[in-house]
Structures are given as structure tokens and as C-alpha cells.
Chain A
């Protein structure tokens, strides 16, 4: 062991966790299976961060695959396209793929089985396009970040171009255990990803691209290195496997040494981060003019009979995906999770659609779910060591439990990204990250209530002003009429006087 290794051991970042078994294999080694189009697709209007899309089709209308169903509403939003050809049968509420189990407005499309494309507008020379044109094509295709947050990619590309970033980082970390869809994409479609990266470099104006891949994916690293060999501006950077390495801020720090300021954006330090899957979707959007209508989803977990990665049309119900993937052992099933086991959402049933941001479907058995009763905090400090943002989770939790959210904010609640490392390492099994999710939701609700209060005050004041103005105008009109009448009477009297 050389000096440098010792140095690295002592001075490398001490954050996050390293689960003994990442459960990625054997699912990651199975070839991708493509699921046939189901009979019905349920497309929520809100599949991305920002404003929900606005439907531009009527019930009963026939649409072709790739046709626009709902347009972007506002600056931060993304359109939704038909994943197959068929008829719009309803625009109604469906249960959202969300922890709350609440409904969300969605377009329901009945497939006609022809799966016929609408007319696409491919681009023969994508590298001749101006950066803005690339962002426009990406926006029109409804591409959102496929790592999980589902932020509209075009907004990020345009923002990065404005901020004049110098480095584009491609997130191939995929640090969440169980998930392997990015790994599979990098192994199978490395050339497409590299072309997407070159387009993104052009769109953002960045001069170099770093593809960060965790060292537990040697096949993906090899494939990407081969694909990127011809491009000197694109480099594959191997990062240690450590959760949450796939988090934007941690990956930036590991690759560039730069730290994103609290409350800031990566663009503040000249960096922008996109998922590798997004790069592929960008290539499809720019080169072929193809909208985002399908994605790769990992089906995994102890209760899943045949774990693997499946290409799924957006809007397919999760239960149909699972049935295609080989089914679930219902006797062993203990917990249903969408996304990764650390940051994903627990859902009550499988009758929810796959949306653009869902990377995994996990059927966990009792051993994996490992639900244990919470005990009192013993102030061991494990959560402090694990927190990748350098926060004090135990102190924040005490404040949130006591209901003093303002104090929790002082401890940096806004910087918490809900990675769940604190709850994972807690020997007392305290659901720390759930406390923080509650607190952030409550703070947002308080902000909405305050905004409503302000609006109410303004409306009440406007009504008072209007009533006062109307009363004044009425009085003025009455005075005017009175004056006119008086003048008329005076004139009449004068006439009478003249006659007499």
C-alpha cells in the first residue's frame, strides 16, 4: 500500500454508506426485454417537475404513435406524447405513482394494435444545429431527466448555455442498490449515449464531458470507454461505488473537487449534470425527432420471480409490467417500491402507471424490507458521519419531532436531499428521512398558506376599494344630476320670468 493510497484513505470524503450487497446482479446481467404495447395506457399530465402539461386532444380522437397529447404549460414543463397509436378514451383522474396514493389527472389511451408512427421530423445533420435549436427539439420531444427527478432537460440545457458552464457531467453512477437500467443502457447503447453527449456539449457550450460511472459496473465502463475513444473531449471517469455517489452534488465533488453552494445550482460552479439515459433520449429527439415514449425500467427484489430490465411504454400499468416480467411471489411480497430502495416511493398497490421518472419496480420480501420499530435516539452520531451533506440529522429530527420547523431550517433542513443514509445507519431504527420529508412538505404547505393569506388580504382590500369608489362615483353622479336639475329649474324660472 503506497503513500497515495494511505493519503486517499485518510482524506477522501467520509460520507454515505456502502451496503454489503448492492443486489444489482443478476438483474443487471439479463438482456433487456421489450414489453409489447398493453391494451390501455394511462398518461398522467404531471410526469415531470414543474407545471402539469395541458391536454390538446379530445376524448374520442384517434392519434398516432408519437403525436402530441398534452403541451408544455409554462417555462418549466414538458409535453406528453402518445406512446402508441389508438383512441383517447378518457381524460380523468387515475391513481398516481406516488406515496400518497392520491389521484392525478391523466389521459387514457386505448391502443389499436397498429403501433403506427406519426410523421417525424428527423435531422440529417444534427451537429449543424444551433444550440438553441437542439434545446428546442429536446423540449418538443418531452425529454425529462431520466435519473428520477424528471426535471425538463431542455430547461437545464438552455440554463447551462446561459450560465456558460465549462463541464458537462454524465451521471452513470446509479448508486441506488437494486437498480441497473442505466448500467444496461451503457452496456447496450454506448454509441447512442456518446452521440447524445456530443449533442448536449453543443447545446450547453461546455468544452468537456465527464461520464461518472461507479466501479461496480466494469462492463459499462469498458463499453463507454470504447464508444468514447474517438472523442477526446469525452472522458470516462471511474468513481468509487458508494451511495449516494449518483447524487448530483456528490458526483460533482468527486469528479471536479468543486462544491455546489447551499441553495445554489451546479451551474454556479460551471457544471451541469445529466443522466446517461437522458443523453440517449436527447439523441433520439434531435437526430430522429422521436419523442420520449418509452423507458428502461428495472424489475427487481426478492419477491420478483424474474428480475431484469424491461423496455416499457410510458403509461403502462406497473402490474402489467410485473406480469410480463415473470410475476411476483405474493406470499413473499412485503413491500412495493417504485424507484430505488433508498429514495423510491412505497406504494400500496401496483395499479399505477409507469411515468417518465420511474427507474425501478421493486417487489421486496420481508428480509429486504426489514421493518423494525423505532427506539429512542442514543446520540451515537452515526447519522452525522453518514450524511453526505454534512448535516446533523439527529438534531434536525429532534426539532421536527418537537414541531419547531424554523429551528430545523437553521440546522440546514433545506440542504437535506432525502438520500436516506441517516435512517439506513441509525441503530435505533429511527425513520429520520421520513421526518425530514414531512418537515419539507409542511414548510411548503405553510408557504402556500401564507401566499393564500396575502392574496386574500389583497382581494379583500380590492373589494373595499371598489365599494368605496362605487359609492363615491354614485355620490358624484347624484350631485351632478342635482346640479343639472337646479340649472334647468333656474333656466325655466328665468324663462317664466322673461315671459311674465
Chain B
């Protein structure tokens, strides 16, 4: 039977069809989406967190339109960070510890297809959350539709890519899944607090302002504020975009360089 010797025939092997990298990325993306929705608690908290912040902030700031105008882009930027940086750090550590990454590494699935699918999943979650926040801003907080869609899309895309890469890179520093929450929150919470505070308060101390401007979240809030509320145009926020993009380059470098497909025994 010819089947038994297929592997011994290089001529026949040479015109085997190689499944396309993009097609495989698409399949991986669909799998990631399905897995995401099947974990109800993760899906729930992923979308509940920004809504809770919106509800809480909205209740406190009710009637103060200027403050509400600043709340929406801040929550939107935080959502981007939660769906990319936080979610990917969790995901990578979990899959690494479970041995899923190692198993995938042993198959012909191209690395690019795998990460393409994973990244597209994060982008989808970020887009869904931005959508929720923007719609809530319009319907509940009277902010109106975003003034500058181009700026919104550019900032969300650059923000998602940068923070996703940083999340994967940060996973390298997390030793095991049990400690993931501690590690992630040790970064996420201070960054959110400093960025929100500096964005909101003109009287913030200079050194805090400098720190916040150098981190990726505050520039992202500035960009989204411009896009959603003022419509001042992308040109006015190029320096903010540059800061986020620089973090992105740094994040991609670290994410690729130190990536580990398996849990190291300690």
C-alpha cells in the first residue's frame, strides 16, 4: 500500500501543500474567540471592570460635564490596557504553565500564525470595550460620538499593539500562575492611578507628571481625549503617539527576545 511509504518519497513530499500562514492565523483567532467566550467568568470580568468604573465615576461626577468628558477617555484607555497588557500576561503565563505553548511549539503551526491569532483576539476585546465605553458615553453621559474617528482608530491600534507586546514581555518576569495577579496588579494599578491623577489634576507634582508622561497610558488617554471629546486632530498628539509607539518597539523586542515556550522548573 502506497500509504506506508509516503514518508519515504521526497519527490511526493516536495509538492505538499503548506497551509497558509494567514489562514492558520485566522483559525487560531477563531479558536481564541471561542475559548474566550467559553470562560464566562473571564469574559464577564473583562467587560464588567470598565463598566463598573464608568458607573462609579459617572455617579460621583454626575452633573459635571467637563469631568465626565475626561472620565470616558480615561476609562477607554484603561480598558485597552486591561484587555491587552493584563489579559495577555495572564494568558501567556497560564498556557506556559499548562504546557499548551510547549505542545503548540512542537507542531508545524507557524509562530507568526499563533501570535497573529492571539493578538487579533486581544484587539477584538479592546475594540469591544472601546465600543461599550463610547456608546455608554453617548447614551448615558451625553458626550456625543467621537469627533475624530481617524485619531481614535490610530491611537487604539498603536495602544493595543504596544500594550499587548508589553503584556507578553511582562509574562517573562512572572514565575508561575499563582503569582500572576500580584505581578500584574503591581504594575497595572500604579500606572492607572498615576496616569488618571496626572490627566485629571493640573496641580500634580512635576515628577509625577514626568513619570506619567513617560508611561504609555497617559499619552493614550490624551490621544483618546482628543479623538473622543475635543477633536483637536491627530497632529496635536504626535508626541503622545510617539511615546506609545516607542513602548511598543521596546515591548516587541522584549516579547520576542525573552519568550519562553515552557515553564522552567524552579
Pair from one complex: no
